[in-house]
């Protein structure tokens, strides 16, 4: 990958990855509002917002961040399977993306439920704090791996080096 293309791909990857983290923080804020509020309309609005942010911001950022990360790995000296930190980042991102996409069906169901029910049932929905909180932790671990690039070359990396 020539330097100009690499810088463009890196800029896109970083923007998408940081955007994914920011969108998860916004989603988490709505989940906290839904969990803490006793106002039916706030809970309803929070679930609607979480569904919209999930499908229209988080999922696209996750998919494109995964794609640009793979392109960066394959197009640079780091490789996808040469260094443990790249491999772990890839696996964590892939798992987070799969869990996200599968979980969004539940979010859509709960957002639909929030539009239909009233009173105590709606308040019992709470917020979606566990998935968002764990997702944020995973994303921050991936970010730390990518910033610090801990040493460690895979067997494949050693063979390529020879």
Q: Going residue by residue through the chain (162 aa), what tens digit of pLDDT does each one get?
A: 899 999 999 999 999 999 999 999 999 999 999 999 888 899 999 999 999 999 999 999 999 999 999 999 999 888 999 999 999 999 999 999 999 999 999 999 999 999 988 776 776 788 889 999 999 999 999 999 999 988 898 888 888 877
List beta partners, residue 153: 83
Angle between helices 59-75 and 3-36 (to 10 degrees): 150
- How far apart are alpha carbons 62 and 3 in whole angstroms? 25
Task: For residues 47 and 105, give the distance between their C-alpha atoms in angstroms, rounded to a whole number.
Answer: 13
15-56 pLDDT, tens digit each = 999 999 999 999 999 999 999 988 889 999 999 999 999 999
Predicted local distance difference test score (pLDDT) of residue 161: 77
Dist. CA 109–CA 115, nearest whole Å: 10
* CA–CA gap between residue 55 and residue 51 (Å, rounded): 6
| CB-based contact 83:160 (threshold 8 Å) | no
| pLDDT for the residue 125 | 80
Alpha helices for the chain (secondary structure H): 3-36, 40-53, 59-75, 84-116, 119-123, 129-148, 155-161
139: how many CB neighbours lie within 10 A of its CB? 21
Q: Which two tokens stand for residue 149?
A: 């690039």
**Nearest-10 Cα torsion for 34, 64, 16, 2:** 170
């Amino acid at each position: 990958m020539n330097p100009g293309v690499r810088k463009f791909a890196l800029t896109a990857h970083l923007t998408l990855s940081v955007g994914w983290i920011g969108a998860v923080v916004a989603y988490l804020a709505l989940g906290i509002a839904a969990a803490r509020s006793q106002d039916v309309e706030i809970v309803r609005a929070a679930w609607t917002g979480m569904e919209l942010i999930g499908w229209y911001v988080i999922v696209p950022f996750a998919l494109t961040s995964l794609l640009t990360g793979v392109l960066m790995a394959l197009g640079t000296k780091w490789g996808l399977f040469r260094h443990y930190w790249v491999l772990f980042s890839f696996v964590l991102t892939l798992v987070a993306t799969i869990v996200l996409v599968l979980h969004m069906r539940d979010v859509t169901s709960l957002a639909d439920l929030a539009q239909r029910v009233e009173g105590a049932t709606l308040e019992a929905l709470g917020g979606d704090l566990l998935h968002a909180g764990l997702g944020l932790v995973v994303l921050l671990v991936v970010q730390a791996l990518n910033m610090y690039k801990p040493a460690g070359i895979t067997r494949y990396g050693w063979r390529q080096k020879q």
